[in-house]
Chain A
Amino acid sequence: MKKMGPIGAVCVLGAFLLLAAGAPVDAASEAFKDNIYNPGPLKSRDSVLKVKVGQRAPDFTLRAVAGGPVSLAQFRGKKNVVLSFVPAAWTPVCSDQWPGYNIVKDLFDEHDAVLLGITADNIPTLFSWTNQMGTLWFPVLSDFWPHGKTAARYGVLRSDGTTERALVVINKRGVIRYIDVHDINQRPSLEVLMGELEKLP
């Protein structure tokens, strides 16, 4: 028993430290209070991309939280499209990323772009989660069933069934112009995305 002492102490203290760590600072908004599940630091990337810049973006039709299906094809010839895949509802970082996008509709408008938020969560979960963000101006789409089919088609479905934190910029012709499969633990900076939209004709 005594021999196990140090190891036991390390385990107990380690567990305590992990618990004490709480949500990472990125999810520090009071809006979510204690409802954010903190999975701890994750493998920064856990998938193999299946699309590339210059290629026609694979089409998809997904159900929106606000109701009805949304297809990528409906924007072709009309709008530039930004796909924002985030790992999962009620997790750190993601819970801040979309509220940030929510106050820059004008910047998306300036670039004639729409934003489509996508996770592999089901509609009820996405409904509850996005309600904490206020009223979102962009559609939030559920890639829940068949589970993560769209994310898998793009190559951003992780081995645990969540999606990467990925941004895909698609021009009006339906061609992919930019892909950022970001470190899942960090929020991509807004100016990089806006810089990419700036490059679109």
Chain B
Amino acid sequence: MKTKWGIGLVVLAVLFFSLCPELPAVPPPAVGGTLPGVELPGPKDGADRRYLGLSGAFKIPEIKAQAVIVEIFSMYCPYCQKEAPVVNQLFARIEGNPALKGKIKMLGIGMGNTPFEVGVFKKKYGVAFPLFPDPDFAIHKRMGEVRTPYFIVIRIQPDGSHRVIYSKLGALEGVDAFLAAIVRDAGIK
């Protein structure tokens, strides 16, 4: 009987790895929790490096900011295309407000997108904040294989620790309301 269960488990493992390679390995980051320890490559663009306050490969909570807004998107996603001007507006609101500029920073991760494809999206919509490719879905898998566009916001404490204060699928419901909630929940002064 034990042998049969053993065989069953082997068959199950084969089924799992051969038929279901895309199974979500982890849930999306939850509010109150932390981000998975994904490492992003150092930004190639000098302006992006200065904006993020980083040089080489980094983890998102290492960004020099009090809060970071992460958008998981794809060049191939119609909703992300539609949302791009709204997200740009959000960035412009932050950069145009001396009380927020430098304290809240933004970046995008193009799931399944090559550097060329991320570049197409950046150019097409004039995205002024840093976008990173994720050609083999490696980061996307660690982020719970969320649908797109998906927004995650973290609050970074002075001691370098962080927690997730926003984690939600879909379009932002109003730039000002979203920003006000982030300022409130991140305790930005």
Contact = CB atoms under 8 A, between A and B. Distances in A.
Interface stretch (A61-69, A152-160, A183-191): A183-191
Contacts of B117: 100, 189-191
B16 A134 contact: no
B140 A7 contact: no
B21 to A, nearest CB: 7
Nearest to B72: A28
A201 interface: no
A24 B76 contact: no
Interface stretch (B88-96, B141-149, B155-163, B180-188): B141-149
Nearest to A19: B20
A28 B148 CA distance: 6
Interface residues of A, number: 39
B7 A6 contact: yes
B21 A26 contact: no
Contacts of A24: 22
Nearest to A107: B120
User: Chain B, interface size: which category?
Assistant: 35 or more
Interface string B13-37: 0011001111110000000000000
B131 interface: no
Contact of A29 (B1, B80, B124): B80
Given A10-B8, A21-B22, A100-B75, A30 B148 contact: yes
Contact of A13 (B12, B112, B124): B12
A50 interface: no
A190 B147 contact: no
Task: Please classify the interface of chain A as helix (H, G, I), strand (E, B), loop, or mixed, using the class held by over half of its residues.
Answer: helix
A132 interface: yes
Contacts of A134: 78, 81-82
B137 interface: yes
A1 interface: no
Contact of A28 (B8, B12, B114, B146): B146
Contact of A133 (B7, B78, B114, B140): B78
B70 to A, nearest CB: 16
B59 to A, nearest CB: 22
B4 A3 contact: yes
Interface string A162-201: 0000000000000000000000000101110010000000
B74 interface: yes
Given A29-B78, A104-B120, A132-B78, 16 more contacts: A3-B4, A5-B4, A10-B11, A10-B15, A13-B15, A17-B23, A18-B20, A21-B22, A21-B23, A25-B140, A29-B147, A30-B170, A31-B77, A96-B74, A107-B120, A190-B116
